[in-house]
């Protein structure tokens, strides 16, 4: 009887053997018995024999035929991730699937539906004028057949209006198979419209030509200043790849995978790319979708119907049979690194996938990570530069520093910055005050005894949220009402220390009572569609002053915004994280790039106690290359990435002694291996206690990736007892 080797979502680094009485292929989902329960697994291998006796091998309970098998290429990619990040193969494979495909309940495969006008539909003038959205839909369908996603880009209420049009006999559904798909002869697959194509600058055209003329795999770092038109380069590359599929060297439409760092950026990008490719099938993949939506979009990609797949880090595992191009926007962003479970870097996995598929990959950023920048300057990647802003009238903003030690401050905001905000209001322009800290104040203090609002569960402080009179821990979620007196000494005067977005908002409201102020952070955008409404207000120039966190730092184009004020950036300059200065420079350059993107000049004012610091000097001259060279020289002398390769073993538990005992045992085992790696001492994590769990870590580094991987394979962590502990191995860690 044939035997299949199955990957199951259990924390064991092995495959499980089962017999099967029907024909199966690798990549199929099966339901199998495991202990006293039944589980869904993925067939990784079909073999003739097993190391186990046939009597001990259980049969497969059910073969699931409700979805196409995973391709050999995707299984190879997932096997690579399991091997490189030293994570069990079962959870690696299953976590890459939509939630519905991990269940043993049968799924209904919905047909891919499009909408078209019924032959002989009345003229649009016969529609009531109040039916504005319905009229837009009819106008669109006069031009072409459209998917529901394309019509929803016109309006959020498109679904309701479509039902009305169907009942009224205007519109009907049609299967996607009616649209032209791939042909065996290699002709053009599916025609698409490339709308609003702007003439490219010389540098943009050179970047497009470099990628489109490359044969097979190539990794390109698109280093363009903010506002230089990187997105325009992306859409021209998409236009080319939607017509050319690299597989077997034949012509035909390819698929494009575009990775973005944050969910907040996907809706506006989805709308933008719909406007540029109005008849292309575009789907998004991110955790903000419902389970049904994600499954539907994943299957559109798997069948090759979706031509553009836009998503966050998990979409790097989407099935793409006609993959032609991968784009990683804001490639430096730490959001591409998964921080639990399979701790993969979506950027690095995307590079492996591009190499595996023989297609180009473009890493885009105004502030590339030092790892990517070093690879580009050393010749491993190809550097493509955009040194000027795309709009003729747009200029880079002037950057100035306000010395806080020599300035009068009102609740942490200098008088000079407040005057500049007032000038912008008078001119009808917008200002942004950037502070990367939500809440009212990061800590509440007793002025009598020095009591601080410590979290009882963590080593951190509880943040004051004044509007709802709560103290909240942003690490574990614990909260309580603001005390009326000091819990230690009973003193009635409790003082908020430091600034958050809410406090900055209240200062501005007091100073500019008639101004329209909008606060943008994860608290104010928690409700569904809140951020979309805010973005519409900003673009309609219904806002005078924006107060926001890093949500506003990148990916946004606000033409009326001419002033950016940065509050309290200095904490990163004396951080224990060696990447802190790199992250701060990237963050400040990104947020500075929001100013002066149209024909009005922009200005950036940074409040700092260290105006002569090299970081701020490089910012003022927009000199990323100079700053990167300085940091790379420091990293090389200190022996930090990208000149070494690291892995971090972390452990956390309720008992501090058990945590340190386990890590010291692992360290002793590592020292016995005598591999050419550097093994550091066990140290507490930067947040030594979170949610009543003590946390510590052990760092390993080597001068070559190969040496580190050989050591990790020989370091049998699964043989070391770790009862009652949460342990994880993080290869290429970003957090310490």
Has residue 83 got a pLDDT over 80? yes
Query: What's the CA gap between 594 and 139, in Å, rounded?
Result: 35
Using one digit for the tens of pLDDT, what is the confidence trace for 157-171? 788 888 888 888 888
pLDDT of residue 395: 78
Structure tokens that stand for 535 in this block: 């973005």
Residue 251: pLDDT band by 50, 70, 90 thresholds?
very low
CATH of the domain at 715: 3.30.70.600
Given 321, 356, 386, the domain boundary residue is 386
- Predicted local confidence at residue 394, as pLDDT: 66
Q: Pairing between strand 413-414 and 360-365? A: unpaired
Q: Is residue 62 part of a domain?
A: yes
For 491-639, where are the E strands, in sequence order? 494-497, 517-520, 545-548, 561-566, 603-608
Q: Give the β-pairing of 323-329 and 360-365.
A: parallel
Please report whether residue 475 resides in a domain. no
The string of pLDDT tens digits covering residues 492-537 is 899 999 999 999 999 999 999 999 999 998 888 887 678 778 888 8
With a pLDDT cut of 70, the percent of the chain lying above it is 93
Does residue 476 fall inside a structural domain? no
Q: Above 60 in pLDDT, residue 184?
A: no
Mode of pairing for the β-strands spanning 146-147 and 678-679: unpaired
Q: Which long-range contacts (CB under 8 A, 24 or more apart) does 668-673 make?
A: 669/715, 669/716, 669/720, 670/698, 670/700, 670/711, 670/715, 673/711, 673/714, 673/715
Asked whether the predicted pLDDT for residue 557 surpasses 80, the reply is: no
Could you report the per-residue pLDDT of 658-689, keeping only the tens digit for each? 999 999 999 999 999 999 999 999 999 999 99
What pLDDT shows up at residue 511?
95
| Cα–Cα distance measured from residue 201 to residue 197, given in angstroms and rounded to the nearest whole number | 12
Instruction: Please check the confidence at residue 139 and state whether its pLDDT lies above 90.
Output: no
> What pLDDT does residue 190 have?
45
The whole-number average pLDDT for the span 638-644 is 96
**pLDDT for residue 178 is more than 60:** no
Which tens digit of pLDDT belongs to each residue from 405-453? 998 888 889 999 999 999 999 999 999 999 989 999 999 999 999 999 9
pLDDT score at 180: 40
- Give the model confidence (pLDDT) of 591-634 as tens digits: 888 887 667 888 999 999 999 999 999 999 999 999 999 999 99
Average pLDDT over residues 455-470: 93
In this structure, are 531 and 596 located in the same domain? yes
* 549 and 686 belong to one structural domain: no
* 222 part of a folded domain: yes
Angle at 16 between CA 10 and CA 22, to 5 degrees: 125
Q: Are 642 and 374 in contact (CB under 8 A)?
A: yes
> In whole angstroms, how large is the CA radius of gyration of the chain?
28
Burial class for 49, CB neighbours closer than 10 Å (0-12, 13-18, 19+): exposed
User: How confident is the model over 243-253, as a mean pLDDT?
Assistant: 55
pLDDT score recorded for residue 510: 94
By three-state DSSP, how is residue 276 classified?
A: helix
The rounded mean pLDDT for the chain is 88
Q: Domain check: are 403 and 259 in the same one?
A: no
Does residue 80 surpass a pLDDT of 60? yes
Burial of 520 (0-12, 13-18, 19+ CB in 10 A): buried
d(CA 72, CA 127): 51
pLDDT at 189: 41
pLDDT score at 699: 97
Is residue 535 a contact partner of residue 508, using CB atoms and an 8 Å limit? Answer: no
Residues 432 and 537 in one domain: yes
Report pTM: 0.87
The predicted structure's pLDDT at residue 375:
97
Return the structure tokens found at 639.
Answer: 């022996």
pLDDT > 90: percent of the chain = 62
Most confident of 185-189, 271-275, 706-710: 706-710
* Residue 519, in any domain of the structure: yes
**Least confident window among 125-139, 314-328, 664-678:** 125-139
Task: Clarify whether residues 412 and 542 are in a common domain.
Answer: yes
Q: Which residue has the tokens 């580009």?
A: 376
Q: What are phi and psi of 281, to 5 degrees?
A: -85, 110
- Best-predicted range by mean pLDDT among 47-56, 176-185, 707-716? 707-716
158 within domain boundaries: yes
Does one domain contain both 427 and 545?
yes
Query: Is residue 497 a contact partner of residue 445, using CB atoms and an 8 Å limit?
Result: yes
Task: Please enumerate in sequence order all residues whose Cβ is within 8 A of that of 363, keeping only pairs 6 or more positions apart, or say none.
Answer: 219, 220, 221, 222, 328, 331, 347, 372, 381
Which of 320, 355, 386 is the endpoint of a domain?
386
Please tell me whether residues 84 and 210 are part of one structural domain. Answer: no
The CA distances from residue 689 to 349, 365, 459, 653, 696, in Å, are 31, 35, 5, 9, 9
Residue 645 backbone dihedrals phi, psi, to 5 degrees: -125, 135
CB neighbour class for 570 (10 Å; exposed up to 12, middle 13-18, buried from 19): middle
Q: What is the CATH number of the domain that holds 43?
A: 3.40.1440.60
**Residue 159 is encoded by which pair of tokens?**
């679904």
Residue whose structure tokens are 């401050």: 409
In a domain, 314, yes or no: yes
Nearest to residue 46, comparing CAs of 73, 72, 65? 72
Q: What is the pLDDT of residue 110?
A: 56
Q: What average pLDDT does range 541-559 have in this prediction?
A: 84
β 323-329/561-566 pair status:
unpaired
Whether residues 409 and 533 share a domain: the answer is yes
- 553 and 419 in a single domain? The answer is yes
More confident residue, 538 or 646: 646
pLDDT for the residue 359: 95
Write out the DSSP string of 393-417: T--PPEEEEEEGGGS-EETTEEHHH
Domain boundary among 628, 662, 694: 628
The number of folded domains in the chain is: 5
216 shares a domain with 172: no
Residues 614, 657 within the same domain: no
Residue 311: CA count within 13 A, CB half-sphere: 27
Q: Are 429 and 560 in contact (CB under 8 A)?
A: yes
Asked if 374 and 433 sit in the same domain, the reply is no
Beta bridge partners of 43: 6
pLDDT at 55 over 60: yes
Predicted pLDDT of residue 481: 95
pLDDT in tens, 408-417: 888 889 999 9
pLDDT at 188 over 50: no
CATH number of the domain encompassing residue 264: 3.40.50.300
Task: Extract the tokens encoding 290.
Answer: 């419902």
Instruction: Determine the structural domain holding residue 46 and report its residue range.
Output: 3-102
Nearest Cα to Cα of residue 700 among 637, 636, 650: 650
Q: Count how many residues are written for the chain.
A: 736
pLDDT class of 580 with cuts at 50, 70, 90 = very high
**Helix ranges restricted to H, 682-736:** 705-714
Angle of helix 132-143 versus helix 158-167 axis, rounded to 10? 80
Average of per-residue pLDDT across 552-561: 77
Integer Cα distance of 612 and 595 in angstroms:
23
SS (H, E, C) 340-369: CCCCCEHHHHHHHHHHHHCCEEEEEECCCC
- Identify the residue with better confidence: 225 or 87: 87
Identify whether 659 is part of a domain: yes
Cα–chain center distance at 263 = 7
């Amino acid at each position: 009887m044939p035997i299949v080797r199955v990957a199951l979502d259990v924390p064991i680094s092995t495959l499980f053997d089962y017999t099967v009485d029907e024909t199966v292929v690798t990549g199929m989902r099966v339901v199998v018995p495991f202990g006293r329960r039944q589980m869904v697994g993925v067939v990784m291998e079909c073999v003739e024999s097993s190391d186990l006796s046939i009597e001990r091998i259980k049969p497969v309970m059910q073969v699931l035929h409700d979805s196409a098998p995973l391709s050999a290429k995707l299984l190879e990619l997932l096997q690579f991730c399991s091997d490189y990040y030293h994570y069990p193969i079962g959870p690696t494979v299953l976590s890459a699937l939509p939630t519905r495909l991990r269940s043993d309940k049968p799924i209904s495969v919905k047909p891919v539906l499009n909408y078209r006008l019924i032959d002989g539909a009345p003229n649009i003038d016969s529609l009531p004028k109040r039916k504005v959205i319905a009229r837009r839909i009819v106008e669109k369908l006069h031009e072409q057949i459209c998917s529901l996603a394309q019509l929803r880009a016109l309006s959020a209420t498109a679904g309701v209006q479509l039902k009305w049009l169907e009942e009224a006999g205007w519109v009907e559904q049609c299967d996607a198979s009616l649209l032209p798909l791939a042909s065996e002869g290699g002709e053009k697959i599916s025609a698409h419209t490339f709308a609003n194509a702007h003439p490219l600058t010389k540098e943009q055209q050179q970047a497009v030509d470099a990628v489109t003329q490359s044969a097979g795999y190539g990794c390109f770092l698109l280093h363009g200043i903010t506002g230089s038109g990187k997105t325009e380069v992306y859409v021209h590359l998409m236009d080319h790849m939607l017509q050319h599929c690299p597989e077997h060297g034949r012509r035909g439409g390819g698929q494009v995978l575009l990775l973005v760092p944050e969910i907040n950026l996907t809706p506006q990008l989805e709308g933008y790319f719909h406007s540029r490719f109005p008849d292309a099938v575009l789907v998004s993949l991110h955790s903000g979708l419902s389970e049904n939506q994600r499954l539907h979009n994943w299957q559109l990609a798997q069948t090759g119907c979706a031509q553009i797949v836009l998503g966050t880090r998990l979409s790097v595992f989407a099935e793409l049979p006609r993959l032609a191009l991968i784009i990683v926007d804001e490639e430096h962003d730490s959001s591409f690194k998964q921080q639990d479970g399979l701790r993969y870097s979506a950027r690095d996995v995307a590079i492996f996938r591009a190499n595996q598929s023989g297609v180009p990959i473009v890493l885009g950023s105004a502030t590339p990570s030092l790892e990517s920048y070093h690879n580009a300057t050393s010749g491993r990647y190809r550097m493509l530069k955009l040194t000027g802003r795309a709009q003729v009238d747009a200029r880079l903003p002037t950057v100035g520093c306000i010395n806080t030690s020599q300035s009068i401050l009102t609740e942490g905001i200098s008088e000079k910055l407040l005057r500049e905000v007032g000038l912008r209001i008078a001119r009808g322009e917008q200002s942004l005050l950037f502070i990367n800290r939500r809440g009212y104040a990061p800590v509440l203090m007793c002025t009598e005894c020095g009591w601080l609002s410590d979290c009882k569960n963590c080593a951190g402080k509880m943040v004051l949220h004044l509007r709802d009179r709560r103290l909240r821990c942003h690490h574990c979620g614990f909260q309580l009402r603001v005390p009326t007196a000091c819990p230690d000494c009973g003193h009635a005067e409790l003082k908020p220390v430091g600034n958050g977005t809410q406090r900055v908002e209240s200062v501005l409201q007091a100073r500019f009572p008639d101004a329209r102020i909008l606060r943008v952070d994860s608290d104010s955008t928690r409700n569904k569609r809140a951020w979309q409404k805010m973005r519409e207000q900003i673009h309609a120039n219904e806002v005078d002053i924006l107060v926001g966190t890093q949500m506003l730092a990148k990916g946004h184009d606000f033409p009326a915004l001419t002033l950016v004020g940065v509050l309290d950036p200095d904490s990163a300059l004396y951080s224990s994280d060696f990447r802190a200065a790199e992250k701060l420079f990237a963050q400040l350059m990104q947020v500075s790039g929001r100013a002066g993107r149209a024909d009005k000049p922009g200005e950036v004012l940074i409040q700092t106690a260290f105006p002569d610091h090299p970081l701020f000097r490089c910012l003022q001259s927009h000199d990323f290359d100079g700053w990167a060279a300085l940091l790379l020289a420091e990293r090389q002398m200190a022996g930090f990435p990208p000149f070494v390769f690291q892995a971090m073993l972390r452990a956390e538990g309720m008992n501090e002694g058990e945590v340190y005992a386990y890590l010291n045992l692992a360290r002793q085992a590592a020292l016995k291996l005598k591999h050419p790696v550097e093994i550091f001492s066990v140290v507490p994590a930067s947040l030594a206690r979170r949610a009543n769990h003590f946390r510590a870590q052990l760092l390993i580094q080597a001068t070559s990736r190969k040496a580190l991987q050989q050591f990790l394979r020989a370091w049998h962590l699964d043989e070391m007892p770790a009862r009652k502990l949460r342990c994880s191995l993080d290869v290429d860690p970003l957090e310490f």
